[in-house]
Structure 1
């Protein structure tokens, strides 16, 4: 009887330790899972407004003056697909699209997705190829 209680106790402790290990592995991700999104304003004289969100985070309404940039970082989730969407605007034009999801990684060329706002649209800079690719037009 005592052996049964002791073995049940050890089984319980093993399950508890495994559960604790899984929980901490989801909350403390290695730097290899860290990603960055940079918003660059290359509008000649206008301030760029934007708001970026994920399912979990709302980064708030922000502005970037001409020829400046703002960057945020995050860790990829091991539970749900990490995705950030942003709404951009200046004067009377706007755009809304996904600025990060894992599938964009190749187009970004690395761990940084760099979005550049210009008068004729929004561009994604590919770090590896050193090229800007026009991805979206402004909507009126």
Structure 2
């Protein structure tokens, strides 16, 4: 297991209260030894004018999942925190309003000062709609 702070679904979802994640209804639904999964409905809050998932929202999912996973892996919990320093996303297909998307974050590298996380976002049929990476820096509080 990679987590220095073991996750719980209650804790993960409580950390989203009063944030962009709660505004967009992003909910953590599963975790394992080296991954987290969250789902989010595609609603009027997350679409572009063509009523498809906005690409920036896919970046938001990458940023959120990578940062949350990163915080669970800091070497000194309670003394360190994570900031995203670089993000990239490849948008592969659209998702119409009224559907759900599912993000899965897995580690590429978990270092003492730098972490790299891979996030794959799929539609309800399990087809990949976006893939991205976020680099995070580990900082002292």
TM-score by length of 1: 0.28
TM-score by length of 2: 0.28
Q: Which has the higher strand share?
A: 1
Q: Which has the higher helix share?
A: 1
Larger Rg: 1
